[in-house]
């Protein structure tokens, strides 16, 4: 009988250095997050918000009332029922299991993305270490405070790979479930529907409808209707709220204004983006994003590339112009930065632009590093939106380069068999 422990170690040390570093970093993160949760389960964590929502649902207490010492609960009643699974475990064990679930879904989604692009032949670099290292650091902020961003992007990637593999029912459910937790991903769903309206659209609408109706099976109709009304009113009341954690294009504009007219930046960073020109910019860039994806659709039959590139571009638009793009939300872009690192050699002229994006997001974008310096170097606070703009420009130019060189061809998207 062989000793599995030495065999496991031999396998680990036989891996390339980058993969060993990636595995070590992810295990370290899991251990550190677990220890932090055991010692201080409510410190620097949004899980208490989810915990309270989960327990409140079964006690038929309004999910959207103000709870002393807690942030607002912002998601759907369906999401509250999902979070209640972890609430039943208690605040500490529930938080640990939620973190494991969130990280697990994120890693699984990232790995399926990498595998399908690798097997498809889109990326020649088989080294997955750099991919997972970049993905970890880009998503770390949201993971460390137990937010749901890593879970959501993991669901989106799983849904996208299911769509590619012809499993449209499973794809629709994964995407609909992500939407139930965070409705701000609507632009990504819209782009996927633009690419693959059938069979995705009807199945996606059916899945969303089923998830919206599910709470009626768990609580009295009057209470569920009241909660949906409270959810809508809460979204209306809080859509204009803004705090320095928002790092979208408006934030970058405020930083730019501070360079021209210094002196009142600390007051401006709380301002609501009501400027008509900015609203017009949001609309025009949204239309431009859809137009670019439609243009890609007319130029290429390779749906594997098309789906993931469209999700990446839609993610960049959400981070720049969508609502609630706070610092941890930039975890959405994490797997696409990792994928771009593997793709960097396909367009050598674009490598500097990609490297600038990585430095701005992964280094200067760290909130703990930049935010204390806002009074002295406010320009550092524009690192995340500026880095996202650089990534979007790289993505568009690199995609067009591959199209024009004929490096993207064929049709790898199976028709749905379900």
Per-residue pLDDT tens digits for 52-66: 999 999 999 999 988
Residue 10 lies in a domain: no
Higher pLDDT, 338 or 16: 338
- Alpha-carbon span 258 to 266, nearest angstrom: 10
Mean pLDDT, range 117-122, rounded to an integer: 70
Phi, psi of 326 (to 5 degrees): -85, 175
Q: How confident is the model at residue 178 (pLDDT cuts 50, 70, 90)?
A: very high
Range with lowest mean pLDDT among 27-31, 81-85, 324-328, 388-392 = 324-328
Closest CA to 15 of 126, 138, 140: 126
Residue 411 lies in a domain: no
Q: How confident is the model at residue 416 (pLDDT cuts 50, 70, 90)?
A: very low
Residue 2 lies in a domain: no
Q: Tens digit of pLDDT for each residue in 123-166?
A: 655 678 889 999 999 999 889 999 999 999 999 999 999 999 99
* Total domain count, the chain: 1
| pLDDT at residue 324, rounded to an integer | 66
| pLDDT at residue 127, rounded to an integer | 72
Report the percent of the chain where pLDDT is more than 70.
91
| pLDDT at residue 374, rounded to an integer | 66
Mean pLDDT, range 251-258, rounded to an integer: 80
326: tokens are 């706070």
Residue 412 has pLDDT above 70, yes or no: no
| pLDDT at residue 133, rounded to an integer | 93
| pLDDT at residue 418, rounded to an integer | 37
Mean pLDDT, range 249-255, rounded to an integer: 83
Q: How confident is the model at residue 122 (pLDDT cuts 50, 70, 90)?
A: low
Q: How confident is the model at residue 417 (pLDDT cuts 50, 70, 90)?
A: very low
Mean pLDDT, range 253-258, rounded to an integer: 80
Range with lowest mean pLDDT among 78-92, 222-236, 241-255, 344-358 = 241-255
Residue 196 lies in a domain: yes
Q: Tens digit of pLDDT for each residue in 361-399?
A: 998 887 777 767 766 777 777 889 999 999 999 999 999
Mean pLDDT, range 11-25, rounded to an integer: 86
Can you say how many angstroms the Cα of residue 346 is from the centroid of all Cα atoms in its chain? 25
Residue 404 has pLDDT above 90, yes or no: no
| pLDDT at residue 1, rounded to an integer | 45
Q: How confident is the model at residue 284 (pLDDT cuts 50, 70, 90)?
A: very high
- Alpha-carbon span 309 to 120, nearest angstrom: 14
Residue 4 has pLDDT above 60, yes or no: no
Higher pLDDT, 174 or 234: 174
Q: Is the dihedral of CA 162, 165, 168, 169 positive or negative?
A: negative
| pLDDT at residue 254, rounded to an integer | 81
Higher pLDDT, 372 or 279: 279
Q: Tens digit of pLDDT for each residue in 288-331?
A: 999 999 999 988 778 888 999 999 999 999 999 987 677 778 88
By residue range, what is the domain housing residue 43?
16-404
Residue 92 lies in a domain: yes
Residue 417 lies in a domain: no
Coil, strand or helix: which one is 265?
helix
Higher pLDDT, 402 or 148: 148
Residue 416 lies in a domain: no
Residue 406 has pLDDT above 70, yes or no: no
| pLDDT at residue 123, rounded to an integer | 60
- Output the CA–CA distances (angstroms, integers) from residue 353 to 293, 386, 396, 411, in the order listed: 21, 11, 12, 29
Q: Over the chain, what is the mean pLDDT?
A: 87
Coil, strand or helix: which one is 168?
helix
Question: Contact 381/309 with Cβ under 8 angstroms?
Answer: no
Residue 8 lies in a domain: no
Mean pLDDT is highest, among 88-92, 277-281, 343-347, for 88-92
Q: Burial code of 264-294, b = ≥16 C-beta within 10 A, e = fewer?
A: ebeebbeeebeeeeeeebbeebbeebbebbe
Q: Tens digit of pLDDT for each residue in 190-213?
A: 999 999 898 899 999 999 999 999
Interior angle at CA 273, CA 271 and CA 275, nearest 5: 120
């Amino acid at each position: 009988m062989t000793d599995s422990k030495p065999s496991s170690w031999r396998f680990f040390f036989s891996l390339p250095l980058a993969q060993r570093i990636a595995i070590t970093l992810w295990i370290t993160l899991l251990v550190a997050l677990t220890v932090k949760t055991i010692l201080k389960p409510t410190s620097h964590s949004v899980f208490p918000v989810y915990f309270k929502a989960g327990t409140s649902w079964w006690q038929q207490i309004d999910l959207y009332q103000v709870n002393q010492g807690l942030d607002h609960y912002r998601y759907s009643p369906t999401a509250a029922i999902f979070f209640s699974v972890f609430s039943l475990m208690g605040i500490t064990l529930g938080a640990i299991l939620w973190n494991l679930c969130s990280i697990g879904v994120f890693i699984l989604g990232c790995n399926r993305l990498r595998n399908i692009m690798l097997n498809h032949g889109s990326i020649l670099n088989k080294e997955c270490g750099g991919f997972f290292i970049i993905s970890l650091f880009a998503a770390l902020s949201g993971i460390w405070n137990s937010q749901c961003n890593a879970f959501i992007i993991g669901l989106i990637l799983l849904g996208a790979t299911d769509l590619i593999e012809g499993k449209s029912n499973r794809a629709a459910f994964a995407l609909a479930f992500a939407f139930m937790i965070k409705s701000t991903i609507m632009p990504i769903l819209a782009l996927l529907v633009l690419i693959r309206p059938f069979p995705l659209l009807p199945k996606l609408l059916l899945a969303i409808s089923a998830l919206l109706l599910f709470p009626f099976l768990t609580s009295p109709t009057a209470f569920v209707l009241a909660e949906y009304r409270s959810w809508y009113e809460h979204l209306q009341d809080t859509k204009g709220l803004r705090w320095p954690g928002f790092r979208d294009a408006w934030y970058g504009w405020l930083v730019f204004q501070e360079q021209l007219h210094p002196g009142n930046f600390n007051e401006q960073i709380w301002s609501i983006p009501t400027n008509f020109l900015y609203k017009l910019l949001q609309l025009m860039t949204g239309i431009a994003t859809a137009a670019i994806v439609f243009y890609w659709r007319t130029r290429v039959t390779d749906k594997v590339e098309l789906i993931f590139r469209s999700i990446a571009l839609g993610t960049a638009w959400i981070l720049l112009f969508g609502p609630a793009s706070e610092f941890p939300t930039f975890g959405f872009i994490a797997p696409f930065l990792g994928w771009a690192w593997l793709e960097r050699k396909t367009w050598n002229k674009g490598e500097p632009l990609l490297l600038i994006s990585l430095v701005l997001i992964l280094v200067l974008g760290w909130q703990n590093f930049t935010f204390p310096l806002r009074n002295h170097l406010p320009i550092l606070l524009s690192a995340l939106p500026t880095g996202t703009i650089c990534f979007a420009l790289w993505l568009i130019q690199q995609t067009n380069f591959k199209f024009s060189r004929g490096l993207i061809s064929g049709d790898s998207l199976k028709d749905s068999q379900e």
